[in-house]
Amino acid sequence: MNGWNPNRQTTRGFTLLEVLIATVAFAIVLAAINAVFYGALRLRNKTVQSIEESLPLRHALITIKRDLANLVLPGGALSGSLQTTSITNTVAGQASPEFFTASGSIDETSPWADVQKVSYALVPSNDRRAGLDLIRAVTRNLLPAGRMEVPAQQWLLSGVQTIGFAYFDGNQWRAWWDSTGADPTSGQTNAIPQAIKVQIQLASQEAAGRLSPVELVVPIMVQASAGQTSGGSQ
């Protein structure tokens, strides 16, 4: 016969209030975890975007620095003059003078020397982004059998508003350069600047109100002295 046993322990369940308190506490913890997770995700996305945007700019600056640091003295068999007022190639939107540089790569399949003719141009963007595309126009064949070949165009950077060049003569920065005239310091012709400054204004910076351009200063280690070349390329 089953009866009441005073020694038997009864199991007590949760009350409705306890269930509500536990649910609220779990919701608060879940919301905190969600906020931390999505905050970390947004930070990660911004970091990746920043890196992806900076890589083309970094590559463009490295390329420009290599070209300018290896300038070839004007007046040689494979080097013309350095004149900012001379626009002679067929690339629309040319934004820099043509100059000769020993930055070309030599391999077993290339018949050209390391000296090449380079200029930079700003052209409309193909993907309709804000700003223009910065293009590097390169001519490798400096002794063509027929007419001068059309420069090969290499994409460097998108979203460029403006690009400017300045030339240091040893005393001041100039907005122009003409190697065919006598250098005011040495009195010699076929001289090149002691340094070249490049300023790139990005469209994204201008839209954000940051008008300070990206600036690159490249010292030129090759200079003409007493009719001969002294120094070397860096």
pLDDT value, residue 212: 84
CA 179/CA 156 separation, integer angstroms: 27
Token representation of residue 108: 């077993």
Per-residue model confidence as pLDDT tens for the chain (234 residues): 555 555 555 566 678 888 888 899 989 999 999 888 888 888 888 888 777 778 899 999 999 999 999 999 887 767 788 888 765 555 677 888 889 999 988 877 778 888 999 999 999 987 777 889 999 999 988 877 777 678 899 999 999 999 999 999 888 999 999 888 877 666 778 888 999 999 999 988 766 677 789 999 999 987 665 544 433 333
pLDDT value, residue 227: 47
Rg (CA), the chain: 32
Burial class (CB in 10 A: 0-12, 13-18, 19+), 216: middle
pLDDT value, residue 4: 55
Residue ranges of the domains in the chain? 50-231
pLDDT value, residue 233: 37
pLDDT value, residue 147: 72
Sequential DSSP letters for 84-122: TT---SS-TTB-S--EEES-----TT--S-S-EEEEEEE
